[in-house]
Amino acid sequence: GAGVSQSPSNKVTEKGKDVELRCDPISGHTALYWYRQSLGQGLEFLIYFQGNSAPDKSGLPSDRFSAERTGGSVSTLTIQRTQQEDSAVYLCASSLLRELADTQYFGPGTRLTVL
């Protein structure tokens, strides 16, 4: 079946511009996660959605970052007034259930470059 998809695969933007990154999770998955991976760094959790519950935004690095999930499916991560330190690969993952044994399925990521 179809996996997690993300678009665009690459995004180059100028400092100060806003960007939107999209994630299409696996159909039926109730949990959705955003992570980012900076060059040479590990994966950093950003935000997580579970069903209709309030999202866990504890990983967002600043108020320039926001995300929404419409209809419990597609999610958009928005970065306002981008900075060069925002350059990274942004990864989306989804999972079926919110349990400790649950498996997360990752998309291919969006590579964001801020000039």
Minimal distance, residue 46 CB to another protein, in Å: 9
From candidates 24, 29, 33, 69, binder to another protein by CB under 8 A? 33
Show the tokens assigned to 26.
């696996």
What percent helix, strand, coil does the chain show, rounded to 5?
A: 5, 45, 50
From candidates 2, 42, 54, 70, binder to another protein by CB under 8 A? 42
Q: Tell me how many residues contact another protein (CB under 8 A).
A: 27
Minimal distance, residue 68 CB to another protein, in Å: 18
- CA separation, residue 44 to residues 27, 28, 52, 71 (Å): 24, 25, 24, 26
**40 dihedral zone (left: phi>0; alpha: psi -120 to 50; beta):** left
- Comparing CB distances to another protein, the nearer of 27 and 103 is 103
Binding range to another protein, per CB under 8 A, among 18-26, 54-62, 63-71, 74-82: 54-62
Those residues whose C-beta lies under 8 Å from the C-beta of residue 71, and which sit 6 or more positions away, are: none
Footprint on this chain of another protein (rule: CB under 8 A): 4, 31, 33, 35, 42-45, 48, 50, 56, 58-59, 91, 93, 98-109
